[in-house]
Amino acid sequence: MNPVSARLLSQQLVAPEFKDPADVVAWFGAMQAQEYKAMRWAVTMRTRRPSFKAFEKAFNEGRIIRTHLLRTTWQLVAREDFPWMLALCRTKALAGLRGWMHANGIDIPDTEKGRIQELFADYMAGKRCVLKEDLDLALKEKGIEMEDHRLSYHLRLAEFDGLVCSGDLHPTKRTLALVSERSARGRSQPRTKRSRSSPGSISAATPRPRWKTSCGGRASTSATAAGASPPSATNSPSSGIKGRNSTATATPAPGAFAAERYC
């Protein structure tokens, strides 16, 4: 077999062997997922019968997880691979994130991180998924005013601590779910061994959410189109977290980490 044919086969671009999009992700280990449309196409085109609905179903069932692992950018990983990959990549990813935080003049002490993550966990418990705006409102109800830039870092830290991961697919925004609840979803059947000759699959009946206001059911007033450029943090003040017992402030440097957008 010539190298070109071998690569096309191994990349599942010709004679694809998997029906389930989750099996494609598991085959590769991790797949770059920076943009929504591109990640969806990259996975589905490698299945026997490409279907965006099949990808959405696997994603919403939690069998495909979108998170930050390598180089602190977005990747898709299979649910079964997520725990050990996070443990493997966490130290390096945290170092990269801390570098961004230092460059932007933002410092989040462990006491603040622990308090915010506890509030995240309490608010998200029992909810299928939530939006970033929902968490911002939940913090405000507790008397905590947090600048958007700082909230983005808190969400990233919560990811690396194994607290949150991707929620259901939203038409325009990123959603979040608790890892403890997401990992338990759709486990009605045991995982079968995946191989090139007999790809396995896991199925579960999970209702599809209705996106009328927000993922968590709380009304949201902001709307960001998928693929839109994120707002620049340059020359914008970072007021930090303003809680009852906190007055921390910081000013981002040029090239600051922009606020999270869906893609």
Kindly report, residue by residue over 183-234, the tens digit of the pLDDT.
776 554 444 444 444 333 333 333 444 334 345 544 443 333 333 333 333 3
pLDDT tens digits, one per residue of 113-162: 999 999 999 999 999 999 999 999 999 999 999 999 999 999 999 999 99
pLDDT at 74 over 50: yes
Task: Note the pLDDT of residue 170.
Answer: 87
pLDDT at 256 over 60: no
**Angstrom distance (rounded) from CA 151 to CA 136:** 8
Span 173-191, average pLDDT? 74
Residue 246 vs residue 99, higher pLDDT: 99
Residue 17 vs residue 196, higher pLDDT: 17
CB under 8 Å to 224, separation ≥6 — which residues? 172, 173, 261, 262
**Angstrom distance (rounded) from CA 76 to CA 251:** 33
Strand partners, 138: none
Task: Note the pLDDT of residue 73.
Answer: 85
Burial code (b: 16+ CB inside 10 Å, e: under 16) for 119-157 equals bbeebbeebbbbbbbbbbbbbeeeebebbbbbbbbbbbb
Range(s) of the chain covered by CATH 1.10.10: 107-186+219-263
pLDDT tens digits, one per residue of 75-124: 999 999 999 999 999 999 999 999 999 999 999 999 999 999 999 999 99
CA proximity to 80, closest of 192, 178, 155: 192
CA proximity to 97, closest of 157, 10, 172, 50: 157
Task: Note the pLDDT of residue 71.
Answer: 74
- Cα(first)–Cα(last) distance of the chain, in Å? 38
Residue 250 vs residue 37, higher pLDDT: 37
Longest dimension (CA), the chain: 67
Specify whether domain 107-186+219-263 bears CATH 1.20.120.
no
SS3 197: coil
SS3 215: coil
pLDDT at 252 over 60: no
Task: Note the pLDDT of residue 185.
Answer: 61
